[in-house]
Amino acid sequence: MRHKIPCFCDNTFTVDAPEEIDLDAEPRYVEDIIAGNFMNFVCTSCGKKHKPEFPITVKWNSKGAVLEVLPELDRGLFYRRKEEKKSAFTGALIGYPELAERIAVLRDGLKVEVVEAIKYYLLLKADEAYPDEEISVWYQHRADSSLEFHIHGIKKEEVAVMRVPLTLYEKTLADFKKNPKSEPFSLLRVKNYVSIQNVLRPDELK
Ligand SMILES: [Zn+2]
């Protein structure tokens, strides 16, 4: 689909953006998305890089995923709209940073609910230590015996790296399998959207 992008330099340029991509057919997108290089466009006049968020379907059948990706601007709309009884989507994501993180989680063969639960625990701990800061936690990648997360917001312009032992992941996975409707898992899901953002959303989105 063609979109017009207005630039601060007063130039408006037109780009062609896909409405659906298939990561099995075009695996090059995987690293592009994770690196934040997906859907970047350069102004034809001043060369400024734009990162607009267009709605897109991301299919990754080999990972069992058909994801509906909404722009961050549509977050309120998502909570207000009715749940579809028969959705073709296995999950929803809001904003491209969530897309980048989710693709890394799927690439590494991890259970989404469990990764979000670990982020929730890490956030609770960080919030306790730094109650005045606006902190966010993002999954990065899997190493031999640990999962790496980045914590943003503890210090300006700095990212704290947190490694969680795989044994904790396995234990949380066992908890999830035993009782998927227990907390914190139940808090992390709204409709087909599994995200720590469901816990953090302001009251007007509840
Ligand atoms: Zn420009």
State the distance from the centre of ligand 1 to the C-alpha of 109, rounded, in angstroms: 40
Length of the chain: 206
Residue whose tokens read 């896909």: 18
Does residue 202 register a pLDDT over 90? no
Looking at the DSSP bridge assignments, the partners of residue 4 are 14
**3-33 residue pLDDT tens:** 999 999 999 999 999 999 999 999 999 999 9
Those residues whose beta carbon sits under 5 angstroms from the ion ligand 1 are 7, 9, 11, 43, 45-46, 48
Does residue 85 register a pLDDT over 80? no
135 within 8 A of 123, measured Cβ to Cβ: yes
Consecutive H or E run containing 160: strand 158-165
State the distance from the centre of ligand 1 to the C-alpha of 159, rounded, in angstroms: 30
Name the H helices within the chain.
28-34, 75-80, 96-107, 112-129, 166-178, 197-200
pTM, to two decimals: 0.94
Give the C-alpha separation, 127 to 189, whole Å. 21
